[in-house]
Copies of this chain bind each other. A is one copy, B any other.
Amino acid sequence: MNKVYKTAAEALEGVLHDGMFIAAGGFGLCGIPELLIDAIRDAGTKDLTIASNNCGIDDFGLGILLQTRQIKKMISSYVGENAEFMRQYLSKELELEFNPQGTLAERMRAGGSGIAGFYTRTGVGTLIAEGKEHKDFDGQTHILERSIVADLAIVKAWKADDTGNLVFRKTARNFNPPAAMCGKICVVEVEEIVPRGSIDPDQIHLPGIYVHRIIQGTHEKRIEQRTTRKKESA
């Protein structure tokens, strides 16, 4: 069992194909798989469907794959930060499926958990519910949401051991565990690969069983909304 690869390009070798379905971790620009996104751009894989809460910004994160027109369809909850996204969507170059944020996260978790579908009240009576099965439980209407299983999950973690056990850091965890769970193949980039046994087994956020390939690399970790307070106001 060797899960450790040298570069993002090597870690993606043999798993990319045009028209594939990718689930990506990250929220805004926080905890996004920067290196793997760059490698997918370099590989030129086309007609991608990507499930990701957001689509980066124009020149960082998944926005890069919009610039290169590699994305055919996005499944997202919020895409407001990206002018190129709007342009391509309004000109019908890009398909978009809006999912409520929690529904998107749960669809990914379900896909990795052998749950084909689940009933939620989220979205009942809205556009989201159109065409979906409705069912009442205890007097309340729910809609059926299907699970997501992706050909590939691209994920960013803080640390991994060489068996793929992962630890995330602060709010950079976000969609990364559910995205990892729903990928048939899951490739992870981390800031540090540590020897097995050096992470407390009670403190592993995502067990290595979900992780197929790992790379270590340097991350830019760009901040989208740098908001601060003055020392005086403390």
Contact = CB atoms under 8 A, between A and B. Distances in A.
Interface string A110-146: 1001111111111000000000000101101010001
A167 interface: yes
Contact of A167 (B119, B140, B170, B202): B202
Interface of A: 106, 110, 113-122, 135, 137-138, 140, 142, 146, 167-170, 173, 201-203, 205
Contact of A118 (B118, B138, B167, B170): B118
Contacts of A137: 116-117, 146
What are the nearest 3 A-B pairs in CB distance?
Answer: A116-B137, A116-B119, A118-B118
What's the number of copies of this chain in the assembled complex?
A: 2
Contacts of A201: 170
A202 B173 CA distance: 9
A contacts with B: majority SS: mixed
A138 B201 CA distance: 36
Contact of A114 (B117, B121, B167, B170): B121
Contact of A110 (B118, B169, B170): B118
A184 to B, nearest CB: 14
Contacts of A140: 116
Contacts of A116: 119-121, 135, 137-138, 140, 142
Contact of A120 (B106, B115, B146, B169): B115
Contacts of A114: 120-122
Of A116, A137, A203, most B-chain CB atoms within 10 Å: A116
Contacts of A142: 116-117
A112 to B, nearest CB: 13
A201 B172 CA distance: 13
Nearest to A115: B118
B121 A119 contact: no
A114 B170 CA distance: 25
A90 B146 CA distance: 41
Nearest to A149: B138
A114 B137 CA distance: 11
Given A114-B120, A115-B119, A167-B202, 8 more contacts: A106-B115, A114-B121, A114-B122, A116-B119, A116-B138, A117-B137, A137-B146, A170-B202
